[in-house]
Structure 1
Amino acid sequence: MVQHDTQGEVVFLHRNAKKLTGEVLYRPVNYHIEARKRIRSRLIKQGIHKIPTEEEVVAELKIMKKRLPPTLEPAEPDGIADQAIWTHMLSFRKDAPRSEYKVKSFSAPPYFPEKQRCYGEREFARSKYFDMQRFADLSFSGLETHVRRFAMEAAQIRHG
């Protein structure tokens, strides 16, 4: 979300739907169920059809807990935990009628995950009332990276 002053200059940016945590988000895993599934799969490949023993499950759990669970979001190339989401800035034209200012919510696969909402004008190329700019072309293009890094540093401080 972008807020402009009365002259149309950007004064405030914020991430509405994707809050910064500074931490990698992991998919919840029921380790006991996953351990049993992994053991059964190995046994079946060997032609053995039995229920895993508690000792086998405990041994498998020790192996599994040495690895991190799958992440909810793909890793960012810069190594910062939170996803970079500011790719484009949609601006309402100064000369457009205010009655045409309508912020829509939509998903935009394959560019963004199905569950992630985008806000603005989906068919911006056809819009007479909005302009689109790439964040990479703006003077403050590196701002999101700095904010994401600060969030990650804060999380590291919080967890000691």
Structure 2
Amino acid sequence: MTSMPRLDSSISVLLADDDPDDCRLTMEAFRAARIDNPMQFVEDGEVLLDYLKGRDRYAATAPPLPGLILLDLNMPRVDGREALAQIKSDPTLKHIPVVVLTTSSAEVDVARAYQAGCNSFIQKPGSFGALVEIASTLGRYWFSVVDLPEQPR
């Protein structure tokens, strides 16, 4: 019997979601799943792009690029669809895995997200227990199973 490799807790997660309750629940679900990776939050696609490109409020600090982005589609200002397109068209950002985590189940959103380059599309579940299971699965897959590229920044 082969054991699973340990989770790489050095990989940071950037969650882009305009709903503070969803952000809190996602963080609690990761904790409940014993995924202790660093997690940052941004409230819309415009702030997400500022964070990733080290602009505006992030210009002085230039935070390190995340190892994984969890992206809601329905956000104000720049929505997740546009943010995803910009991330995947930028040579310095396109290597970052993006998992769409959204309330939408519309087939058009699923198709467009994959066409734009998302790595996975997950509909937000209706229960906290299901969210914990998603967090556990994401943690095992992205922080243990796959090899992620080195972060350039």
- TM class by shorter-chain length? under 0.3
Greater percentage in helix:
2
Q: What is the TM-score with the length of structure 2 in the denominator?
A: 0.22
Larger radius of gyration: 1
Q: What is the TM-score with the length of structure 1 in the denominator?
A: 0.21
